[in-house]
A and B are shown apart, each in its own frame.
Chain A
Amino acid sequence: MLIDHPLLGLRDAAEFVYLGDAALLNRPDASSADALDSFHDYLHLRDNVAGEHRELWYHEQGDRSWLVITRNTLTHAITAVELARDVAMNLREGANS
């Protein structure tokens, strides 16, 4: 596979390490009353979609960026690549606004 890195252009997927669903960006609030349940769900339950999947990849053999990649799990077609940090910052701003 090829990943169109937002900073570096097309890179072989073999340079990257895969983590999983981009929902892992949404770490729950540890101080909430139901933290045990929300952390359980956050860490263990997956939508595991057959289709467009937003997922986290790390450019280990490259610039060490974490990326959020939108990839179809049926065809492996990649339709979007974003810097995870940007996505995470947007999530924070969304949560704060």
Chain B
Amino acid sequence: MRYSAFQVLKQGLTGNKGWQRAWREPDPQQHYDVVIVGGGGHGLATAHYLAKEHGITNVAVLEKGWIGSGNVGRNTTIIRSNYLLPGNEPFYELSMKLWEGLEQDVNYNAMVSQRGIVNLYHSDAQRDAYARRGNAMHMAGADATLLDESGVRQLCPFLDFDNARFPIKGGLHQPRAGTVRHDAVAWGYARSADSRGVDIIQNCEVTGMMIENGRCKGVDTTRGRITANKVAVCVAGSSGKVMALAGLRLPIESHVLQAFVSEGLKPVIPGVVTFGAGHFYISQSDKGGLVFGGDIDGYNSYAKRGNLPVVEDVCEGGMAIMPMIGRARLLRMWGGIMDMSMDGSPYIDKTAVPGLYFNGGWCYGGFKATPASGWCYAHLLATDQPHDTATAFQLERFRHGAVIDERGAGAQPNLH
């Protein structure tokens, strides 16, 4: 069934009785061409592009819980392509372009909203670093403008320009950045993949990897053994756990990142604002909630919850630049498990085990990458060659020193 305004009208007039299931609930078959482990945004996007762009439809997406239950359903919904390094920027710009056509591509309104992002700077050195980045963006075909203080004032008059501990001197603005309704991304990809024949199998946890003669032949799951020509792991915070089933150690640590939403308020914040000096970023959802976050808690965790010091730190950052939010109330805080890599950049690669592929290490930047991650992972699975924009995302890059370290923080995951 195609979704459209006409359909909404028609169903509304007939008691909404005709809406069909958004995706089927099939039992797993014994064998697939490709088994994707992980029914999050990246796994579902991979399934969609495998089916749509490469015609590979004998595919299963295995999800241990309900689809979208991982980071795609618990992030701060920001999309942007304001990266610095050549290993990253073309990939994120591809992602941005895919976002721009997503809704028509999957026939699902994920509310891609290009409200813009501004990264504030507070010193000449930060300005110079942003100028370097903004130029890199231009050179990769993305958009960016460098704002001075008055430019930021015009965009965000509600910031504290007069009494800030770190005065706002300007910002790097990417107008095409914005926000997307996160759950709808998972649902839209799922519905589209399903309609092309992909089996989405929920409540199916992978418990073992079938490795025969050094080759991955499939997976054992809580719903039985499933064989596959290719097994594509795509499980974000659970990367360490799942890849350990294949005996692999990864350049990844799992960390908890908290995020926050306020009570619903009439619109006050038009786009996304990030305050790097204070570890704070914020936007306002279409429902009115202020959605904000900051740093990871900083210690290894699989607990999906954090502690108070970071909550306070994030709110301090918020009050430092926009003291008008003091009387807005924090409604809900939650934690997600981030697959923090050694240089802050991801992996989309084959592994040492033939037949086993890996996509992970997204740190806390995975949401914006969803379409390109799916696109490039599908490309790798279909052709066994990395996509042009993802050649740098190799698991073995540290062995050669080809790091993609945007922050220059070195091989310490909690600093990225």
Which A positions have Cβ atoms within 8 angstroms of B? 1, 12-14, 17-21, 36-37, 40-41, 43-50, 53, 55, 57, 71, 73-76
Contact = CB atoms under 8 A, between A and B. Distances in A.
Given A46-B251, A47-B249, A48-B254, A76 B303 contact: yes
Contacts of B342: 43-44
A87 B309 CA distance: 29
Contact of A20 (B303, B399, B413): B413
Contacts of A37: 399
Contacts of A1: 307
Contacts of A46: 240, 249-253
Closest 7 CB pairs of A and B: A48-B240, A14-B309, A45-B249, A44-B251, A44-B398, A18-B299, A50-B302
Contacts of B239: 48
A71 B256 CA distance: 15
Interface of B: 239-241, 244, 249-254, 298-303, 307, 309, 342, 398-399, 411-414
Nearest to A19: B412
A49 B251 CA distance: 13
A73 B398 contact: no
B241 A50 contact: yes
A12 B298 CA distance: 14
B399 A40 contact: yes
16 contacts: A12-B309, A13-B309, A14-B309, A21-B253, A37-B399, A43-B411, A44-B342, A45-B249, A45-B250, A46-B253, A47-B240, A48-B240, A55-B299, A55-B300, A74-B303, A76-B301
B302 A73 contact: yes
B300 A73 contact: yes
Contacts of A21: 253, 300
A49 B240 contact: yes
A73 B298 CA distance: 12
A51 B307 CA distance: 18
Given A46-B250, A48-B300, A55-B300, 5 more contacts: A19-B412, A20-B300, A55-B299, A74-B303, A75-B303
Given A37-B399, A44-B342, A45-B250, A50 B299 contact: no
Nearest to A74: B302
A18 B298 contact: yes
Nearest to A1: B307
Contact of A13 (B240, B253, B307, B412): B307
A53 B399 contact: no
A33 to B, nearest CB: 16
Contacts of A41: 249
Contacts of A75: 303
B298 to A, nearest CB: 5
Contacts of B253: 20-21, 46, 48
B307 A73 contact: no
Contacts of B303: 73-76
A20 B240 CA distance: 15
A40 B411 CA distance: 10
B206 to A, nearest CB: 14
Contacts of B240: 46-50
A53 B300 contact: yes
A21 B309 CA distance: 22
Contacts of B413: 20
A15 B75 CA distance: 28
A57 B413 CA distance: 14
B173 to A, nearest CB: 33
Contacts of B249: 41, 45-48
A77 to B, nearest CB: 10
